[in-house]
């Protein structure tokens, strides 16, 4: 696992001699900008007005007595009146959890250890799995059993075959190289995620296929009897991650077989608002601890949600809640309130 992060860091931070000059020029420009900005200090609006506006929640009224630069409010409570305490969860928390966004320009941060279970060992009898080496994170595993168990219970045939789950970075590299070899580099870049850029690295994703009793198989399109799965997956915490009309945002063409686990409340809200994960991560930023909280009604209850930039986040002093990083810049708190 260490070699992955070393390799990734080197890719990100390597700067050639020309690049070094460019970096120095940027630093010089930034220093100049700071000096100029300070020189214009007398043009700045009065501190009180400015800080009230940067909160962006419109709820501070005229009572804002915070000092410039002091962006933390004195007291945060849930809608039920539970006090919250500002807690630093550490930078790693930004890159961990069920809401992490992973795509070709938001690479996965591989953790030292990842908890995974074998689908073959854990699955119920309502579906197939392509082999004993297909793995999932435990929460995604439990949700998969519930979803496909209910699919057959309501009349679906036992024909769903889980053909992919967790993927290592090496395996994604292998898929990419294989595609490049067979179809050319341009094709691979367009259709296969870069190593580190595949959601499958999270262990929160399954790809489905169809397997018939007579031994034949076919691609899964989520139509016919399988439309039940694509139409109800959010009630189990899964979303159909790559829709045709979001391809310009996700970078991936229509994939009705690729399901991503984000938990029931967030999957429900994403479907309700018609947002892909790229959009949803931005949408959540409107809901901060000291602003309006997002309330979500879903199959598993009522939830109150807020986002915090960075690793310092307000957590309820009591009650049932989960936290997840967004793999971009902050953390989302999801509290069960009913």
In the bound complex, what is the minimum distance in angstroms from residue 20's beta carbon to Zn ion?
A: 39
In the bound complex, what is the minimum distance in angstroms from residue 310's beta carbon to Zn ion?
A: 31
Q: Answer yes or no: are the C-beta atoms of 129 and 161 closer than 8 Å.
A: yes
Residue in the shown chain whose Cβ atom is closest to Zn ion? 258
Q: Using CA atoms of 259, 264, 265, 268 in order, give the dihedral in degrees to the nearest 10.
A: 50
CA atoms of 107 and 199, how far apart (whole Å): 9
List the catalytic residue out of 122, 225, 255, 279. 255
In the bound complex, what is the minimum distance in angstroms from residue 167's beta carbon to Zn ion?
A: 9
In the bound state with Zn ion, the residue whose beta carbon lies nearer, of 209 and 311, is 209
Those residues whose C-beta lies under 8 Å from the C-beta of residue 59, and which sit 6 or more positions away, are 291, 292
In the bound state with Zn ion, the residue whose beta carbon lies nearer, of 11 and 174, is 174
In the bound state with Zn ion, the residue whose beta carbon lies nearer, of 203 and 316, is 203
In the bound state with Zn ion, the residue whose beta carbon lies nearer, of 259 and 306, is 259
In the bound complex, what is the minimum distance in angstroms from residue 242's beta carbon to Zn ion?
A: 8
**Catalytic residue status for 92:** no
Neighbouring C-beta atoms of residue 190, cutoff 10 Å:
13
- Cα–Cα separations (whole angstroms), residue 110 to 107, 194, 263, 300: 9, 14, 21, 30
CA atoms of 112 and 92, how far apart (whole Å): 11
In the bound state with Zn ion, the residue whose beta carbon lies nearer, of 258 and 293, is 258
In the bound complex, what is the minimum distance in angstroms from residue 215's beta carbon to Zn ion?
A: 24
- Taken in order 207, 208, 213, 218, the sign of the CA dihedral is negative
Q: Answer yes or no: are the C-beta atoms of 187 and 179 closer than 8 Å.
A: yes
In the bound complex, what is the minimum distance in angstroms from residue 305's beta carbon to Zn ion?
A: 26
Binding site for Zn ion (CB under 5 A): 207, 258
- Written as one string, the DSSP assignment of 283-336 is HHTT-BTTSPPEEEEETTEEEEEEEEESSEEEEESSS-EEEEE-SSSEEEEEEE
Report which secondary-structure segment, H or E, holds 8: helix 2-13
In the bound state with Zn ion, the residue whose beta carbon lies nearer, of 193 and 335, is 193
Sheet holding 330-336, edge to edge: 294-298, 301-309, 330-336, 321-325
Give, to the nearest 10 degrees, the angle between helix 277-284 and helix 264-273. 100
Question: What helix, strand, coil percent values describe the chain, rounded to 5?
Answer: 40, 20, 40
| Tally of CA atoms within 13 A in the half-sphere of 233 that contains its CB | 25
In the bound state with Zn ion, the residue whose beta carbon lies nearer, of 242 and 307, is 242
In the bound complex, what is the minimum distance in angstroms from residue 207's beta carbon to Zn ion?
A: 4
- Residues involved in catalysis: 255
């Amino acid at each position: 696992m260490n070699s992955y992060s070393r390799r990734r860091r080197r890719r990100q931070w390597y700067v050639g001699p020309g690049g070094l000059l460019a970096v120095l020029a940027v630093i010089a420009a930034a220093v100049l900008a700071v000096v100029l900005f300070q020189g214009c200090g007398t043009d700045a609006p009065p501190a009180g007005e400015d800080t009230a506006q940067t909160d962006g929640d419109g709820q501070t009224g005229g009572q804002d007595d915070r000092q410039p630069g002091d962006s933390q409010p004195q007291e945060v409570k849930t809608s039920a009146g539970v006090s919250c305490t500002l807690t630093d969860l550490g930078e790693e928390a930004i890159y961990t959890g069920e809401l992490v966004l992973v795509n070709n320009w938001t690479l996965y941060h591989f953790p030292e250890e990842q908890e995974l279970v074998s689908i073959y060992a854990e699955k119920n009898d309502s579906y197939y799995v392509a082999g004993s080496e297909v793995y999932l994170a435990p929460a995604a595993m439990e949700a998969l059993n519930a979803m496909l168990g209910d699919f057959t219970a309501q009349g679906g045939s036992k024909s769903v075959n889980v053909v992919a789950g967790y993927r290592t970075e090496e395996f994604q590299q292998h898929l990419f190289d294989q595609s490049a070899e067979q179809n050319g580099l341009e094709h691979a870049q367009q259709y296969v995620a870069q190593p580190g850029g595949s959601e499958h690295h999270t262990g929160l994703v399954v790809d489905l296929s169809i397997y018939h009793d007579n031994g034949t198989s076919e691609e899964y399109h989520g139509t016919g009897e399988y439309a039940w799965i694509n139409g109800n997956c959010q009630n189990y915490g899964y979303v159909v991650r790559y829709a045709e009309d979001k391809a310009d945002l996700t970078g991936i063409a229509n994939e009705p077989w690729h399901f991503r686990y984000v938990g029931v409340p967030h999957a429900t809200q994403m479907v309700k608002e018609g947002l892909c994960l790229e959009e949803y991560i931005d949408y959540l930023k409107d809901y901060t601890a000291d602003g309006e909280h997002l309330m979500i009604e879903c199959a598993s209850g009522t939830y109150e949600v807020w986002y915090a930039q960075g690793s310092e986040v307000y957590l309820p002093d009591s009650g049932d809640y989960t936290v997840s990083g967004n793999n971009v810049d902050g953390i989302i708190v999801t509290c069960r309130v009913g």
